[in-house]
Amino acid sequence: MKGKIGLEEHFAIEDTIMDSHGFLPEEIWPELKSRLLDVQEKRLGFMDKFDMEMMILSLNAPAIQAIPDTSKADEIARRSNDALAEEVAKRPDRFQGLAALPMQDPELAAAELKRCVNDLGFIGALVNGFSQKDDADSCLYYDLDQYWPFWQVVEELDVPFYLHPRNPLESQSRIYEGHPWLLGPTWAFAQETAVHALRLMCSGLFDKHPKLQIILGHMGEGIPYSLWRIDNRNSWTKAPPKYPAKRLIAEYFQENFYLTTSGNFHTRTLIDAMMEIGADRILFSSDYPFEGVEEAAVWFDAAGISEDDRMKIGRTNSLKLFKLDGA
């Protein structure tokens, strides 16, 4: 289909480019590096060839979240956001931006999000999982009490927040010892991000801030296929859940979350996600340049779904969610 919009599409600046080294075979690194640093040339060529009208761009991972020095994290976040704003300004019809945020400090993160939305014209934020602060072996997850004022700002700005994966820290990865192929997109990304998302849902965050909209990539990081079990474990006992949230996890997932197709180009998986969360809450994405625009577009354009749903997922859901012209 023509006019597709993708919203998990990455770029890098020189300060963050090496964070992507090692995710693909070494012989591919020069091309991956080139694609990450480029915005206006090679990237647009792929978009034009495969009918992707717009990319909503975000910084590579883990980038800001992996900088334990809070002031440095804030500096690099601002630098990357300024660089992205310059690129978007060249072709706002083809590119929009998601803010990188120094989540090490919720007040700094809120201030930078306000700047990006109000001054730079960004349409949301993308954060690469937990943040390290002070100690490189630390993990801050965003259901913690200190982040609730930040979430209030997100709700007030009325912009989506994309929770993007990162690998667990080495000290917390014993289950993967001797099995490095399970790290990254094969499995660890989904496991890490799914737990983080479930923590948000269980915390009661969406009871206090019901308008928040969180985006998960890769068709939901496995959550859609476990929703029934999450809410109905040991169902014969009728025991209530022990988390602070007031409602079923499935209800938050269906009302406060969107999913993207990034890096998960499989029609049966798409149909399962549609049955769990509805076609109105799924968004086309490719995960460029870690995945190819060609692979994403060729699969999606031929996927066995209705043309109405294809248009929603490929374009109009994003127009509405991000309040883009044409919605």
Position 18 in a domain: yes
Instruction: Report phi then psi at 95, rounded to 5.
Output: -135, 145
pLDDT reported for residue 9:
98
Give residues with Cβ within 8 angstroms of 16, minimum separation 6: 59, 60, 63, 64, 76, 80
Domain at 110, CATH number: 3.20.20.140
- pLDDT, position 327: 53
The per-residue pLDDT for 96 is: 98
Is position 246 within any domain?
yes
| Residues of the chain predicted below pLDDT 70 | 326-327
Q: Is residue 30 part of a domain?
A: yes
- For this structure, is 287 an active site residue? yes
Predicted pLDDT of residue 325: 81
Query: Quick check: pTM over 0.85?
Result: yes
In a domain, 327, yes or no: no
Digit-coded pLDDT (tens) for 188-214: 999 999 999 999 999 999 999 999 999
Instruction: Report the pLDDT value the prediction gives residue 326, as an integer from 0 to 100.
Output: 62
Q: Is residue 200 assigned to a domain?
A: yes
Q: Is residue 227 part of a domain?
A: yes
- The verdict on residue 175 lying in a domain is yes
Strands 125-127 and 161-163: parallel
Total number of domains constituting the chain: 1
pLDDT of residue 238: 85
Per-residue model confidence (pLDDT) at position 235:
87
The runs of H, that is alpha helices, within the chain are 29-37, 42-49, 70-90, 106-118, 148-157, 188-202, 205-208, 227-232, 249-256, 267-277, 293-302, 307-311, 317-321
Residue 326 lies in a domain: no
Structural domain of 299: 4-321
The active-site residue, picked from 145, 287, 301, 308, is: 287
How high is the pLDDT of residue 239? 86
**For 96-146, what is each residue's pLDDT tens digit?**
999 999 999 999 999 999 999 999 999 999 999 999 999 999 999 999 999
